[in-house]
Amino acid sequence: MDTRPIGVFDSGLGGLTPVRQLRRVLPGEDIVYFGDTGRVPYGSRGRDIIVQYARQDIRFLLQQDVKFIIAACGTVSSTYPPEEAARLPVPFTGVVGATARAAVDATRNRKIGIIGTAATVRSGSYAAIIRDMMPDVQIFARACPMFVPLVENGYFNDGNPVTKLIIAEYLQELKDAGVDTLILGCTHYPLLKKMIGDFMGDDVHLVDSGKVTAQAAAAALPPAQSRNSAASADAGIPAARGPQMGRRYQIPEQTGEGHQISTRRLGSLKTSRWM
């Protein structure tokens, strides 16, 4: 059994949505989370800068001796070179592959909408995987650059009038196109899921990239590395926990507002400053 933690990183606080799901599907695992709130958002930056930030985030997690790294960021997942990820000393996964597969499984009319940061939509990463699996699909992609700042600043309460106006501005075209499946291609977006769902209607299936990625990561974790063994679960034995790690959330420049948002997402939240 490998007692090292799982490392998760994102451009800000959005990656806490897959962390919450990881805590549900892998309750015995320790997690180190790094949210780069000091440089959020990543999605409006150029490719070279995004890759540079991703390398720095990964280096930080490797220094924490993690056994598995999850890029809980649609922008990084769409931009970070796969050949570089393959050379990392620990397994690495992003959010794109599993989310795209879930959308293909969900669609009934073969009309799939994709929303994400400008960098994610520009990369065409989701669309490429979806078309490989479903060549006759119709894809409607829309960059939603205001969604991340809205979430980071706490504008995700259900019914917030500012957020509702922006949702309508961004998503009307996808609604008119008749998509029956919509990928929330940034892990910040599940915090707006209720308002997005209300706007799109009950017939549109929303694919939560955070939830899908957590489930895929749990399935990908080799049994020899997992602290959630089937044998222990069947016997009713609680999963082992490390004596020191627990869950650590590294939030640079964490403000009172940021801590408040984080706590509302995950409950009790211990953060430490990273320079």
Positions in the chain short of pLDDT 50:
230-245, 254-275
Single out the catalytic residue among 104, 121, 186, 192: 186
Termini Cα distance of the chain: 32
| DSSP assigned state of 20 | H
In the prediction, which pLDDT does 229 show? 54
pLDDT, tens only, 167-208: 999 999 999 999 999 999 999 999 999 999 999 999 999 999
Give yes or no for a contact between 238 and 214, defined as CB atoms under 8 angstroms apart: no
Single out the catalytic residue among 8, 69, 73, 151: 73
The tokens describing 125, both together, are 């990463």
What is the residue-wise DSSP string for 194-231? HHHHHHH-TTSEEEEHHHHHHHHHHHHS-TTT-SS-HH
Q: Is the peptide bond prior to 243 cis by the omega test (within 30 degrees of 0)?
A: no
Query: Is residue 73 flagged as an active site residue?
Result: yes
In the prediction, which pLDDT does 37 show? 87
In the prediction, which pLDDT does 118 show? 95
The tokens describing 236, both together, are 């009713």
Query: Is residue 186 flagged as an active site residue?
Result: yes
State the CB neighbour count (10 A cutoff) for residue 202: 7
Q: Is the dihedral of CA 152, 158, 160, 165 positive or negative?
A: positive
